[in-house]
Structure 1
């Protein structure tokens, strides 16, 4: 079960990587202070399903730096799974602090389009994507075995018209088939041009941005979900201004009218990495307060 609470709150992606104090622990694990701050802030804000904050590298390097067959941003040979877990250490820390944690992976199509082919092993990215999916499937198993509540795959490339959606579908299927926990796919941007294909992906939760892209409210209905849940982006991650509780609650109410409260997870449109720590925290805090307000009005 994802959550017993109606309108559970969660996050989508990264949190500001706050530079912590020095000392031995920072030398042993430079990301530890930033990770601790990200997890602590999410808990303090009242988030129901937190993440480890994704405070390290960007979403491509976060995975690619550890895959055999990749050097920097270049694919130099055949892709193989990493020799050890990539994201698990941060997720384990989050799980030590909070019972409900979302494991987040960069999706195979987005990952492929962030890399340059420098090897004859792959003729194009469509040949690369299945091998990336196999590598990510192993990481997904690590996360599931560790006890994450949700496995999220980030596929912002799917709304751009750049990716082959049939190849993307098969790649996501490879990952989802390896786990039994609820799966989620996050797609940024306006999904009007790809929603029919995305609805066919075999995931339990579809996560879209609705604050910065209200047009998405016009292309999706409760019946389209067919019993699945919707990650409802109601905080504009692209806007440095902190929306009021009332503004966020109004957005959530529109979502309830369309999808029903029982189908919704409440989250920001995307990651908050580019915000200040204070701004990111306040956005999450106001989102939690807005969800509470909507919950009380049901």
Structure 2
């Protein structure tokens, strides 16, 4: 009889427990879900803090850095173990729009930036070049015609990168030419690149002037005249006993003439370049005529890069500068 009472009491106790699916059970489940969503921490984030941060970033249409993106993505992966899948999916969609690898690029914005750099005769840093190069690649995959912009970007590519990038055969030839030079043992550039009587002013290294020079320039500017003021040119002179290692030609839309960039070296570790050269000396032109284009495009601009080894003495005329550009 005693065991029957115990069994009866046990059955009564089980009957007091809420049946599965009852409101009481659902309430307990929801409380646990909310507690997990608000308090579970992954990579320093709760679900609430991750959702808030991603929502704030996504609002203005931002893109975030890859490291930041990966940190948030890993946090969501971890939080997905305790947070409702629908909530995670909604926040992940916002995060994906911030992904720097898939963020849409404005063609007009990239075009304006590259054309401003090109027209101002800038040379940009490796990180800036890499950013624009990646954006152009994305635009090309999206079906945009990027050929002209690609040519302009290569013109402003850092000289140090041009001579050291393993995937650019033309650049490697240029580096090979520099390696033929003697070691640097105190050699100096000895002559101005133009008669100082023809120079109106010199813009110093690090010159800033928006919009073309928002960042400090990595080179000087010699001003022969005010820009667009005259088509006159003056002799460009070798600034020392140097060797010309490369000449790149393109078409100057402003002056409607060919223009050139001349790379030169004094010794293995001292080299430089002249941009916006409006003509070549007869001797340099004759040397170039025997050299094929190492890099060429028949897109607008007709860019042709040639590598050579052409020694010249200090003060020798190697080209002409000025014209509507007014500086070099």
TM-score, length-scaled by structure 2: 0.19
Question: Does 1 or 2 have the higher relative contact order (CA < 8 Å, sep 6+)?
Answer: 1
Q: Which structure has the highest strand share of the two? A: 2
